[in-house]
Amino acid sequence: MADVFRTEHLTRRFSGFTAVNDVSLAIPEGGVRTIIGPNGAGKTTFFNLLSGALPPSEGKIFFRDHDVTALEPYRRARLGIARSFQITNIFGKLTVEENVRLGVQAVLDGTANFFFPLRDAATIRTTTDRILEDIGLGNVRRAQAENLSHGDQRRLEIGLVLASDPPVLLLDEPLAGMSPAETHATVELIKRISPGRTILLVEHDIDVIMQISTSITVFQTGTVLASGTPAEIRANETVQRAYLGELALP
Amino acid sequence: MSRLLLHPLVWTAIVFAVLPFVAGANPFTGTGGFVDIATTMLIFALFASGFNLLLGHVGELSFGHAMFFAIGAYVTALDVKGYSFDLFGHTWTHVADNNMLVALVLALVAVLVLSVLLGRLIIPRSSGVYYSMITLAFAQVVFFIAFTWSDLTGGEDGLQSIPRPVMPGFDPAFFHDALHFYTFTAVVVFIGLALVYWLTVSPFGSVLHAIRENKVRARFLGYDVNKFRVNAFVLSALFPAVAGWLWTYFQQAINPDASSVGYSGNIVMMSMLGGVQTFFGPILGSIVYWELQNNISQLTKYWEAWIGAVFVVFVLLSPRGIMGVIENVRTRGIGRTTR
């Protein structure tokens, strides 16, 4: 099976500083593919390049063997690549339900114009309801999104990503700032949705990473330091010295 | 039943029915019920509501929407009066044709073509202040064409003695009666406002709201944001074109002022005075504007300064306009502050 993503010599520079440096990486289909690394290692920049938020300075990006290097973000989203953001990025003034519904209807018609919504209205409603239940926000559906607690906003962020039922999810620190209970619920959610999808995850919570990852890629100063299964990464001395050691891995 | 009675369009219909009997009411002189003022209010309510599709729902300020109003008005006037002018060594003539529906279609087509071209040119390249300035610049181009191309537009004086519309099955004198013309205007404006309402509550409308709130997020959900912006721009230009069509028949004259910065600005003011993120805001804004205009201009020739002062007070104290005040009164009880 083709790789979900393949990058060739991918490089991104910001005025004199190289955030992602000549990364050639293949990310296979399926499973939870986690990217770890210290702050400033280029993880989020790598996500921004994959999702089209930033153009690369050099190199190419292939999605299932199609060159998507120059493709606009909305076109990548329509190919089935959905992403969440490290800093909560929702429609604050709209209700929770409207937020999710916008995600759902994006798949049905994101480019053409739909003035006659009735044909899909029932599908949109049932999908929206199912996702609200999935992320556990069914009881606050009429609330304005910006009035939710931080944890609920993070979950809505995931809901927006799930809404389009994408085969590929890019989750940028979905657990940031969550309480232990919220973290647990969100990890369960990620486990539940992962069959049949590829999930790219940037995360810092090492316990969670070891628990749910299929494979782990370690970034350091814009390059790939190591790649492998959780067990291999745990045993890798370079990684221990460069990164995991700081976190006092058991 | 009670939900139906609270429907915004039911309220609109009630306001339209009452308006000709109260428009221009002046508590000091005891006069009121000027039908022509009511007609003006409705035409500008449609103009402002179309414009507000952009300002209120997409969150983008076009400072040149008067060009669409003026083009709708001029195309109507030229179709109704006919024209003859020389250009490129050829004399272009059109015989007067007083068919209101033909004039409407021509006005809509002209504005459709222009707004599609402008939208595709401007929108992918600009947003924010640049967007406002470039729409203003194009409106100025239209203004100067109207002002200087005397053979076609009548120049500074514009086009006069345009007949009232003729509708098959109606006595030709029918539309000369002010109340009849008001009724006709009310029907057209009501249909237009119903379309605006429907657009804003449709899935299309909620994508516009998403773009207003967070363009980046909308893009990453898979929406072609610029395409939605262009389509909203075109739709919002068509309502002013219909308003211009009505305006020509109502005023029976048209001059370059219709495309001026003043008109573009007044529409912005009416929308903000009423409250931009609401359906009623622009309607209410137009009614209040013309009511103030009528009453203050009887007292002083500096009426525009006083309306400006009212506008400033609202911008400072209630950024959500009159509708914001009404909502606060409804949800928090009378007497609480707007914050």
CB contact under 8 A, A106 and B219: no
Q: Report pLDDT for A245.
A: 57
Q: Report pLDDT for B335.
A: 47
Q: What is the pLDDT of residues B73-119, one digit of tens each?
A: 999 999 988 777 778 877 787 777 778 888 999 999 999 999 999 99
Residues B233 and B242: their CA atoms lie apart, in Å, by 15
Q: Report pLDDT for A109.
A: 63
Asked if residues A163 and A80 have their Cβ atoms less than 8 Å apart, the reply is: no
Q: Is the pLDDT of residue B9 over 70?
A: yes
A198-202 vs A168-172, strand pairing mode: parallel
CB contact under 8 A, A102 and B207: yes
Task: Please name the residue ranges forming H helices in chain A.
Answer: 43-51, 73-79, 96-108, 118-134, 150-162, 180-193, 206-212, 230-235, 237-242
Average pLDDT over residues B9-17: 89
Chain A contact for B197 (CB, 8 A cutoff): no
Asked if residues A94 and A138 have their Cβ atoms less than 8 Å apart, the reply is: no
Q: What is the pLDDT of residues B15-39, one digit of tens each?
A: 998 888 888 777 777 777 788 899 9
What burial letters (b/e) apply to B110-132, b meaning 16+ CB within 10 Å?
bbbebbeebbeebbeeeeeeebb
The mean pLDDT of chain A is: 86
Give the mutation candidate from A99, A113, A153, A165 for the B interface (greatest B CB count, under 10 A).
A113
Q: Is the pLDDT of residue B284 over 90?
A: yes
Chain A residues touching B225 at Cβ < 8 A: 74
Q: Is the pLDDT of residue A246 over 60?
A: no
Q: What is the pLDDT of residues B213-228, one digit of tens each?
A: 999 999 999 898 999 9
Q: Report pLDDT for B338.
A: 41
With a pLDDT cut of 70, the percent of chain B lying above it is 96
> Pick from A82, A91, A110: which is nearest to B213 by CB?
A91
Average pLDDT over residues B252-277: 91
CB contact under 8 A, B220 and A53: yes
pLDDT-derived band at B339, boundaries 50, 70, 90: very low
Average pLDDT over residues A98-122: 72
Q: Report pLDDT for B61.
A: 93
Chain B residues touching A91 at Cβ < 8 A: 209-210, 213-214, 217
Q: Which residues of A touch B (CB under 8 A)?
A: 51, 53, 72-74, 77-78, 82-83, 85, 89-94, 98, 101-103, 105-107, 109-111, 113-115, 117, 124, 160, 163-164
- Residue B87 phi/psi, 5-degree rounding, is -155, 140
Q: Is B237 helix (H, G, I), strand (E, B) or coil?
A: helix
CB contact under 8 A, A160 and B221: yes
Residue showing tokens 């939605």: B228
pLDDT-derived band at B127, boundaries 50, 70, 90: confident
Asked if residues A49 and A63 have their Cβ atoms less than 8 Å apart, the reply is: no
Identify the CA nearest to A10 among candidates A197, A240, A248, A223.
A223
B303 to chain A, minimum CA–CA distance in Å?
37
CA atoms within 13 A on the CB side of A83: 27
Q: Roughly what angle, to the nearest 10 degrees, separates helices A118-134 and A150-162?
A: 140
pLDDT-derived band at B247, boundaries 50, 70, 90: very high
- The count of residues in chain A is 250
Asked if residues A168 and A200 have their Cβ atoms less than 8 Å apart, the reply is: yes
Q: Is the pLDDT of residue A168 over 60?
A: yes
Average pLDDT over residues A150-170: 89
Inter-CA distances, B236 with A225, B77, B115, B203, B246, Å: 54, 22, 9, 17, 17
Asked if residues B297 and B303 have their Cβ atoms less than 8 Å apart, the reply is: yes
Q: Report pLDDT for B337.
A: 44
Q: Is the pLDDT of residue B183 over 70?
A: yes
Q: Is the pLDDT of residue B192 over 80?
A: yes
With left for phi above 0 and alpha for psi between -120 and 50, is residue B121 left, alpha or beta? alpha
Residues A96 and A132: their CA atoms lie apart, in Å, by 8
Average pLDDT over residues A73-85: 90
pTM over 0.90, yes/no: no
Q: What is the pLDDT of residues B42-83, one digit of tens each?
A: 999 999 999 999 999 999 999 999 999 999 999 999 998 877
Chain B residues touching A163 at Cβ < 8 A: 221
Other Cβ atoms within 10 Å of A157 Cβ, number: 25
DSSP calls for B173-225: TGGGSHHHHHHHHHHHHHHHHHHHHHHHHSHHHHHHHHHHH-HHHHHHHT--H
Average pLDDT over residues A217-236: 87
Q: Report pLDDT for B336.
A: 45
Q: Where is average pLDDT lowest: A116-120, A235-239, B100-104? A: A116-120
Predicted-assembly ipTM surpassing the 0.90 threshold: no
As a whole number of Å, the end-to-end CA separation of chain B is: 33
CB contact under 8 A, B204 and A115: yes
Residue showing tokens 């209410």: B284
Chain B residue with CA closest to A120: the answer is: B203
Chain A residue with CA closest to B210: the answer is: A91
The rounded Cα A159 to chain-centroid distance in angstroms is 12
Q: Report pLDDT for B332.
A: 67
CB contact under 8 A, A91 and B224: no
